[in-house]
Structure 1
């Protein structure tokens, strides 16, 4: 007979440690003042990206922090592996998980999703005459939707980095990428020709967790809201 895993009682679910998913990289550093104002103090090495640890306790016993790739924060929260997270709006747009609720714009991680092309071709592309274009991007869904709105079928070359090399090496005509200052584009002979969306980081929560643990999750949303107001 196949063993059936028992469903944990509600009391066990309510007492389980909450997990906050944070993105590696630039946003991790930008999160630090906000976390401090929200009363979240992780173990010292959580900010050390050379550390091989990925899960960290905090000074609040009922909350742990995990450090994952920015694109993975939304996945961890959507599938309930983490109840709370900090995630760029670009990731939410790309994956559009129905199980994620984003109650707060944290006002950090300012950047934009943009179309770019070689500087020597900029302004000479007549998109009204195009029916198809090849685009390199790590945002296939956003890119397809953007060009579909203009009646253009986008053939996506999916890359996770070094996007700026694609046009010069004949891999694609255009790129769609996350842009902060634009200096990397300029250094590689590209120019930003269109902004698809402006991006900031959001506080996200798992909808099921919010329903099953409304007091605990609601308290953390309130802490982050107060932290934002304190910084205003």
Structure 2
């Protein structure tokens, strides 16, 4: 997990972050959107503090799409500046998974992100802390632990038919993305695990869409499961 750039965030210097646990005092935070940053050839303008130019890429289109989806999610709720993905547990309780933040909550997350990076002697000059921001944040540690255990229980259970097994796998995919465990690499580790678990559980290896993690963060559980199920049906055809 390192790059040729000695000081980059994926360099050997920061390898320990792939082993650092997410906690209530140290949640995972990242911005949803900022598509201009992902354009090929885009350059940073320090005067306007924006990315300029460049050519559209799959990454920039994806981020623009999910910024719009997250905005729509806020429009569909009355929860204010924080929208939580909620998961029903087997004991009747409801656990809180990933959260979408906007307004003051997003500004606070951006400031916290900048503070953390500065403490690691990182460059914070391109972190925007004002304006219309949307951030994603992990939920409470106890809730994430309960969600993770539920996902494991679903995958380990006996399923009478292939459709029942597929439903369990689809639900588990959503749950695992609500319960990341480490500061870095959790999304990639979840992808690998889901393919391995699905290959064992299902008649044929399952399909993961390229933006499965973002879908899980921004979509409700029912919508996510329906979309990922449609991807399996498309692969079958």
For CA contacts below 8 A with separation 6 or more, give which structure has more relative contact order: 1
TM-score in terms of structure 2 length: 0.24
More strand by share: 1
Larger radius of gyration: 1
